[in-house]
Structure 1
């Protein structure tokens, strides 16, 4: 029984509605061990018949039987498997892949077999040795002569141990010596028990085989046996094929990118700049937000809410006599100084709220005169130490104990010392300010306190002047000033609960009247973070524009790559790669570009961020560029998404190419 049989094969091409028959009822049988030459003039249908036998052409009428089983030309996957298992191609134009080495060109077919890596490389090297090119394995096709290229093509055709070798004008581009050597190799292949089908227009080449089939005007007009077919030899079990692993597509993509290193480097750099901008701006947003948060929290504890008695904002009517009227001045002073105080019940009411840990009484003295010997300075606002205060604001010394005070470095300490302001720590200073006593009269509160420490905040938002609570209240009591608190420092159990408690306090009413007005530094932080986030978003949008340009660059590059590698696509399809394999190849290239770009962009961001932090360190001892793991991860995800989107259309286009048309591309 014949190994390969063609029955009543008809094939036509159409130009519009006009039909042009190419094959007009071809019936042929082929045996293993034959070297059959299909001879005829150009345009006689030889190449079309070869494409049908090789499983590349699916649009024809008739039947192809392989080892007694019909080949389903409507099932693309079965045709891919048929080419992997049964067919090996040798072309007149060699059709080697330029960006792969000689060894890799042979390994293409072996990558679709179940052999392990060591076995694949060993077989590829043995085949190169067989055709006399074992010492050329690491070279590229453009470094070989025509005869050497054809031998590589023969080695590749034999790699997967196919039963059928199709040779399309295998000696058409060779000189006489190489022609003789190639024909000898083809006879040796047939002698191994394979079927060799050579398409040629040369009678001399045809006479070398075992049978000549003459094709003229789409019909067989002669089928002549020259000599008996070779007797098939006993061979080991054939190599089993498999679908191409995804890892091979990725490796092939990397090889192509390396082969065109400089062109692809420009694409990578362009994409990396966009990604660098995104990650750097994100890190800058993190740093600025963190810096502002640190400055604010150094100034006050964000878990503490300041609560005062609620007062409606009113505009006072002008007093007769204006500012020169002493009575007016007294009334104004009284209205400013006297504020509503908290009763014990009100303090308990707030203390019993959910998430409240503690409630402390707060006091503030305004326009306090500080003297150290002959030198003096004015504290615009002196407050008592509560849980709202933070030790991080103290540069030198410690928090104030009884009879002690913290003075601001710039506003007070440097003004009342001759030399080193730090020498003030441990010394006693005199303080005095004016307030209203219980009867509403102006009195002077005078007392002394030891300097426990010097404080500052780099934000320069307010002075750090804080006194021990008992020290201040004792002085107030001594001057007959009411020590009932006008504000409270309410400590919340967790930062996440600050907003909720703040809102709850503001909603407390009695007799349908609002009782309290509360505020928290956390709300200030939220506002600042909103502005920082907005600025970061604007910067990210600007960076995003460069990413769009980068995506377009990758799309154009992929389309150019598909166009330049059309023949390569045809070669890979002829070797048995599926449409999915072709799509995966170009997607892999795009993803590799994306990953390398992300790595380069991340490296640039960290490097330039470190330089920026070093430059800004003398200005503020803080790292303003803080790139987080989330920023890096997001950058890689963006790079992969951009690369994937950019590769979808070009890869689909590549996979949709007709392998016959692709092979004929220049």
Structure 2
């Protein structure tokens, strides 16, 4: 039984509907230990026959058997394995991969074996030394002569220890000296028990083999035995086997190509990194602003406190709806007043340790030495205020008031406002009497402090007893228009607030509540919206980056068409080719993400340094979540961008790819 058997092989090419037969019934039996020359003129079908034997051409009729087993050319997986384990190719044009050195070129084949990394490299070097290239191991193909390139091709063909070596015009581009050396190497390969099939149109080259098969016009018209096949060596077994290419090897090869074209790819990585940097920076800016606002609010307001107001509608409402309702009923403040019973009812709630009624006024006037300051937002002191709300002085007692810096300057000057401390000023505000008629309330209060940072949101604070006495003197309505409820622990704040909002009288909801969390949630929502809008704008650059990667990958496929053909001929699967290009794109994404993180941290450090003297806070805060998100975005963009180019690369016909310029 022959090792390789071809039975009734027919092959035709078609131009439209017109058929052009190339092989017209080839029957051939070949054995290991033979050096068979397929001789014939150009166009006679030699290369087509070799492509069928090599498992590259699938569209033909007839049978190819290896060791008596039918090779099914309709099954791509079987052909990939066949090329990987049984076939070694040597080409006239060498077909070496230009961005790899000669050791790496041989390793391309060895990557699909069970050898370890060190063993693969050791075998590659051993084979290159065997073909006389021990002194050129670090060179790339462009640094070698034609004869040296062909020796690299021979070493690569032998790397996976295949049973069949196909040499397509192996000496066509060589001078006489190199021709003789290459033929000697091929003969030695046959002596070692391989089946060597050389395609040639040179009778001189054909004469070096053991057998000449003459092919004319698609038919075998001569089969001459020059000498017997070489005896097969006994008990020759390899200590490794072939296997599909691993994902790690694909990424390693992708990295080599990426490094080879580093400067071209660096432009794409920089463009992608700028987009990712913008997204990362805006996310960090949103985090920082949220944290800054939370810090500022917490510095003024006790987070354990709940501000309770009268629900003027009787319907359950959110904190935002409550605030809108306050504005709606501002013209009728009587609708917002709480009775003493309604205030006392809050004392009975679980986890509440203090209930303080109070007054909040929308407008008021301060006057001192014929200078006036019209402001908005005075209210009474409760435990809702943080301990450091008063920057200078102390919290207001009876007939005392704390004002902010802006009001103090308005009543004196920027240089002398601190002298107001201890002085009496006039307070005037509008209120209502028990008949719901407007009245004007006035009184003299002693300035005992200035608010922390002069926050414009809280221009002035007095105490409840003082405000109530001033109102009583004018026969005004003394009911409070808000209550401050202090909760024992911060973990219970939301629970108590929800309970307060659910309290009813006669089937109507009585109270509305606002917590620090509600304020922060509202502010954070706006900040997040702004961050999303800014990130979306930055995302436009990511779309451009994705397009750049797509174009680059398509260019890479075009430039590496021959390489794709080589890899397929060596036994790599379509899957491996797809992964080669997606891996390179993903590496671009990873490097872009790394660069964007460096840029973002550098820029945020600079921005925080510049702004810290103003706000005393790090306004850009990049979290580990932001970094992980950025890396994921980079990987997703780069992977999606590579899908179409990688698919196109994997679908290339290996024969067409090998013939590409």
TM-score bracket, shorter-length normalisation: 0.7 to 0.9
SS in 1 for 2:295: helix
- Residues 307 and 518 in structure 1, CA contact (< 8 A), matched pair in contact too: yes
CA spacing shift, 1:642–1:354, aligned 2, 3 Å: farther
2:307–2:482 contact (8 Å) kept in structure 1: yes
Q: Distance in 2 between matches of 1:532 and 1:405?
A: 34
2:357 pairs with one of 347, 354, 361: 361
Structure 1 residues 244 and 337 mapped into 2: Cα distance closer, same or farther (>3 Å)? Answer: closer
The residue number in structure 2 matching 1:187 is 187
Distance 1:338 1:188, change over 3 A: closer
CA contact (8 A) 2:388 2:452 kept: no
5 Å-filtered alignment, 1:458-497, equals 460-463=456-459, 465-467=460-462, 485-491=480-486
SS for the counterpart of 1:643 is helix
* CA offset digits 1:576-632 (Å, max 9, x no partner): 101111111011011111111111122222222222222223332222222222222
Aligned to 2:275: 274
How far the C-alpha of 1:500 sits from its partner, in A, is 8.4
Residue 565 of structure 1 aligns with which residue? 560
Question: Measured at CA, do residues 194 and 516 of structure 1 come closer, stay the same or move farther in structure 2, by a change above 3 Å?
Answer: closer
With over 3 angstroms needed to count, the CA separation of the structure-2 counterparts of 1:82 and 1:443, relative to structure 1, is closer
Partner of 2:160, secondary structure, is: coil
The 8 Å contact of residues 295 and 459 in structure 1, kept in 2 or not, is answered as no
Counterpart position of 1:227: 227
Q: Which residue of 1 aligns with 2:646?
A: 651
Q: How does 1:41-120 map to 2 (within 5 A)?
A: 41-120=41-120
More moved, 46-55 vs 510-519: 510-519
CA distance in 2, matches of 1:214, 1:356: 104
| CA distance in 1: counterparts of 2:71 and 2:47, whole angstroms | 19
From the superposition, tell whether residues 459 and 242 of structure 1 become closer, same or farther in structure 2 (CA, over 3 Å): farther
Deviation at 1:524, TM superposition (A): 4.6
C-alpha distance in 1, partners of 2:237/2:636? 47
Q: Shift of residue 462 of structure 1?
A: 3.2
CA deviation vs aligned residue, 1:290-320 (integer Å, no higher than 9, x gap): 33343344333465443344669xxxxxxxx
Output the CA distance in 1 between the equivalents of 2:454 and 2:271: 39
The alpha-carbon deviation at position 474 of structure 1 amounts to 8.3
1:36-78 CA-to-partner distances (Å, cap 9, x unmatched) read: 1110000111111111111111122222121222212221111
1:383 & 1:522 partners in 2: Cα distance? Answer: 20
Question: Bigger shift: 632-641 or 362-371?
Answer: 362-371
Secondary structure of 2:614's counterpart equals coil
Task: Check the 8 A contact 1:574/1:659 in 2, yes or no.
Answer: yes
Equivalent pair of 1:5/1:65 in contact (CA under 8 Å): yes
2:318 corresponds in structure 1 to none
Change in Cα spacing, 1:8 to 1:428, as seen in structure 2 (3 Å) is: same
Higher mean C-alpha deviation, range 519-528 or range 142-151: 519-528
**Secondary structure of 1:618's partner?**
helix
User: 2 CA distance for matches of 1:167 and 1:663?
Assistant: 14
Aligned to 2:325: none
* Matching residue of 2:658: 663
What secondary structure, in the 3-state scheme, does the structure 1 residue paired with 2:177 have? helix
Residues 47 and 398 of structure 1: CA distance in aligned 2, closer, same or farther (over 3 Å): farther
**Structure 1 residue 615 and structure 2 residue 616: aligned?**
no
Distance 1:86 1:495, change over 3 A: same
Stretch deviating more after TM superposition (654-663 or 361-370): 361-370
1 CA distance for matches of 2:519 and 2:402? Answer: 25
Relative to structure 1, the CA distance from residue 66 to residue 454 in structure 2 (aligned partners, 3 Å threshold; closer, same or farther) is same
Aligned 8 A contact 1:595 1:639 in 2: yes
On the 8 A contact 2:161/2:238 being kept in 1, the answer is no
**TM-align CA RMSD:** 3.6
Aligned: 1:40 with 2:40: yes
- Specify the SS of the correspondent of 2:95: coil
Relative to the length of structure 1, the TM-score reads 0.85
Query: Secondary structure of the residue that 2:139 maps to in structure 1?
Result: coil
| Residues 336 and 14 (structure 1), Cα distance of their counterparts in 2 relative to 1, 3 Å cut | closer
Q: Deviations over 1:261-308 (max 9, x none)?
A: 121111111211221222222222233333334334433346544334
> Once the 2 structures are TM-superposed, how far is the Cα of residue 155 of structure 1 from its aligned partner?
0.6
Task: Give the distance between the partners of 1:597 and 1:337, measured in 2 at CA.
Answer: 59
Find out whether 1:532 has 2:524 as its counterpart: no
| TM superposition shift of 1:176 | 0.8
Pair 341,552 (structure 1): closer, same or farther in 2 beyond 3 Å: closer
Deviates more, 1:487-496 or 1:625-634: 487-496
Structure 1 residue 480: Cα displacement = 9.6
Alpha-carbon spacing, 1:63–1:468, altered in 2? closer, same or farther (3 Å)? same
Answer yes or no: is 1:348 the counterpart of 2:344.
Answer: yes
Q: 1:359-394 CA deviation, whole Å, 9 max, x = no partner? A: 2222468858688xx899869565433122123434
**Partner residue, 1:320:** none
Structure 2 gaps of 5+ residues are 314-330
Match of 1:635 among 618, 627, 630: 630
Give, in angstroms, the shift of residue 245 of structure 1: 0.6
Range moving further from structure 2, 255-264 or 577-586? 255-264
What is the distance in 1 between the residues matched to 2:581 and 2:505? 73
How far off its partner does 1:444 sit?
6.4
Structure 2 residue 569 is the aligned partner of structure 1 residue 574: yes
How many residues end up aligned between the 2 structures? 637
With over 3 angstroms needed to count, the CA separation of the structure-2 counterparts of 1:104 and 1:579, relative to structure 1, is same
Normalising by structure 2, what TM-score? 0.86
8 Å Cα contact 2:366/2:425 also seen in 1: yes
Correspondent of 1:385 among 381, 384, 388: 381
| SS of equivalent residue, structure 2 residue 615 | coil
In 1, the alpha carbon distance for the partners of 2:602 and 2:294 equals 25
**Does structure 1 conserve the Cα–Cα contact (< 8 Å) formed by 2:408 and 2:417?**
no
* Aligned partner of residue 286 in structure 2, secondary structure: helix
In structure 2, C-alpha distance between the alignment counterparts of 1:486 and 1:262, rounded to whole Å: 69
Write the distance in 1 (CA, Å) between the matches of 2:335 and 2:60: 100
**Distance of 1:202 and 1:437 partners within structure 2:** 117
**CA-to-partner distance for each residue in 1:334-374, whole Å, 9 max, x for gaps?**
x9999975444212333445776642222468858688xx8
CA positional deviation for 1:564: 1.3
Q: Give the secondary structure class of the aligned counterpart of 2:174.
A: coil
CA gap 1:339/1:433 in 2 versus in 1, 3 angstroms: farther
The 1:398/1:637 distance shift into structure 2, 3 A limit, reads farther
Correspondences of 1:438-457 after superposition (within 5 Å): 445=443, 451=448, 454-457=450-453
> Given the alignment, which residue of 549, 554, 577 partners 1:554?
549
Q: Tell me the residue number matched to 2:30.
A: 30
Matches within 5 A, 1:299-378: 299-301=300-302, 304-309=305-310, 342-352=338-348, 358-363=354-359
Q: Structure 1 residues 19, 397: CA separation in 2 closer, same or farther (over 3 Å shift)?
A: same
- After superposition, the C-alpha distances for 1:190-221 in whole angstroms (9 at most, x for unaligned) are 11111111000001100111111111111111
* Distance in 2 between residues matched to 1:267 and 1:571, nearest whole Å: 27
Residue from 384, 391, 397 that aligns with 1:395: 391
Say whether residues 1:203 and 2:226 are aligned partners.
no
- Alignment partners' CA distance in 2, 1:495 and 1:20: 87
Change (3 A) 1:173 1:341: closer
Pick closer, same or farther for the CA change 1:25–1:417 going to 2, 3 Å. Answer: closer
